[in-house]
């Protein structure tokens, strides 16, 4: 297996090792039939049997996940392992040039592995190696949940975090500490630890509606606007947290309005 795009530093050594493991595992098991030879195919699935495993004898097999090219398999790789136990096949395989696959009976291979401890150890190493490479690819492709490109900021008590009327370029999270929100110089609420604030202006593309001042030393996480908007679309937990936060603020403002009306 070779991953497309940037490779981790250890990839070449791992790949070279993995390429020889499948043949070692199959040593002593006879091929089920003659090799399958394809010049080119857009979809491999009609050409293979789910009761078989296939050793790539020559050629390259391209794998896509959700129409996105992710990796390719080459000589020495094994095809069909993920079909065991009725697991859904997430990969779409295709080849753009000559490909030769040697078929083996899945049941015979599993029986062979069951009787040979060294072969079992090779299988574990083979699967672990591929899993390691795929996990590395996922960490490189997956959007980090709360990783700000601007990082963290430490502020002293009394320092202004947001100014009313400013443009909304970031959303903030108080990691440690406490702050207070003011509108036109009047306190309208508190911003406790773990609170997401500054999001409303990001959503509405309007100016900041309030000033937020640290009431004690704080550690703040800054999340760029575009990154935060993307996170709310891909991570329901963030959207849920925002809804809860906004509901608390609306309830607080309602109580303040009620007290003002009662006072008059």
Helix (H) or strand (E) holding 226: helix 225-234
As given in the structure block, the two tokens for residue 227 are 């990154």
Convert the pLDDT of each residue in 245-263 to its tens digit. 666 666 665 566 566 667 6
Backbone φ and ψ for 145, nearest 5 degrees, come out as: -70, -45
As given in the structure block, the two tokens for residue 55 are 């050793």
pLDDT at 256: 62
| Residue 180, SS3 per DSSP | strand
Higher-pLDDT residue of 229, 5: 229
Q: How far apart are CA 94 and CA 45, in angstroms?
A: 9
Q: Which residues contact 206 (CB under 8 A, 6 or more apart)?
A: 168
Average pLDDT, the chain: 80
The answer to whether residue 17 scores a pLDDT higher than 60 is: yes
Q: Which domains does the chain have, with CATH numbers?
A: 2-141 (2.60.120.10), 152-263 (2.60.120.10)
Mean pLDDT of 220-237: 74
Convert the pLDDT of each residue in 24-36 to its tens digit. 999 989 999 999 9
Complete DSSP assignment for 99-159:
EEEEEEEHHHHHHHHHH-HHHHHHHHHHHHHHHHHHHHHHHHHSPPSS--TT-EEEE-TT-
Convert the pLDDT of each residue in 54-76 to its tens digit. 999 999 888 887 777 777 888 99
User: 83-105: string of b/e by CB count within 10 Å (b at 16+)?
Assistant: beeeeeeebbbbbeeebebbbbb
pLDDT at 145: 47
The answer to whether residue 227 scores a pLDDT higher than 60 is: yes
The order of strands in the sheet holding 2-3 is 2-3, 68-73, 61-65, 91-94
For the full predicted model, state whether its pTM sits above 0.95. Answer: no
Higher-pLDDT residue of 180, 203: 180
Convert the pLDDT of each residue in 195-214 to its tens digit. 778 887 887 888 988 899 99
| Residue 246, SS3 per DSSP | helix
The answer to whether the CB of 17 falls within 8 A of the CB of 5 is no
Convert the pLDDT of each residue in 74-133 to its tens digit. 899 988 877 655 555 567 889 988 999 999 999 999 899 889 888 889 888 888 888 877
Burial class (CB in 10 A: 0-12, 13-18, 19+), 251: exposed
């Amino acid at each position: 297996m070779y991953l497309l795009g940037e490779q981790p530093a250890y990839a070449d050594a791992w790949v070279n090792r993995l390429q020889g493991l499948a043949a070692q595992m199959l040593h002593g098991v006879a091929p089920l039939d003659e090799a399958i030879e394809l010049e080119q195919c857009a979809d491999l699935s009609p050409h293979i049997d789910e009761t078989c495993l296939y050793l790539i004898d020559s050629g390259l097999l391209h794998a896509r996940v959700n129409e996105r090219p992710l990796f390719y398999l080459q000589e020495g790789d094994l095809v069909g392992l993920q079909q065991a136990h009725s697991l859904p096949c997430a990969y779409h395989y295709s080849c753009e040039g000559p490909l030769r696959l040697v078929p083996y009976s899945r049941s015979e291979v599993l029986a062979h592995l069951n009787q040979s401890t060294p072969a079992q150890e090779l299988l574990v190493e083979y699967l672990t190696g591929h899993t390691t490479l795929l996990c590395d690819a996922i960490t490189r492709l997956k959007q980090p949940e709360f990783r700000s490109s601007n990082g963290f900021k430490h502020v002293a008590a009394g320092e202004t975090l947001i100014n009313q009327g400013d443009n909304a370029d970031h959303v903030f999270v108080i990691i440690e500490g406490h702050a207070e929100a003011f509108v036109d110089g009047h306190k309208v609420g508190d911003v406790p630890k773990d609170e997401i604030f500054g999001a409303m202006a990001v959503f509405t593309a309007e100016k900041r509606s309030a000033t937020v001042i640290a009431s004690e030393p704080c550690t703040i996480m800054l999340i760029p606007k575009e990154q935060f908007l993307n996170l709310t679309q891909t991570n329901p937990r963030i959207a849920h947290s925002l809804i809860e936060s906004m509901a608390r603020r609306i309830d607080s403002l309602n109580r303040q309005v009620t007290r003002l009306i009662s006072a008059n």
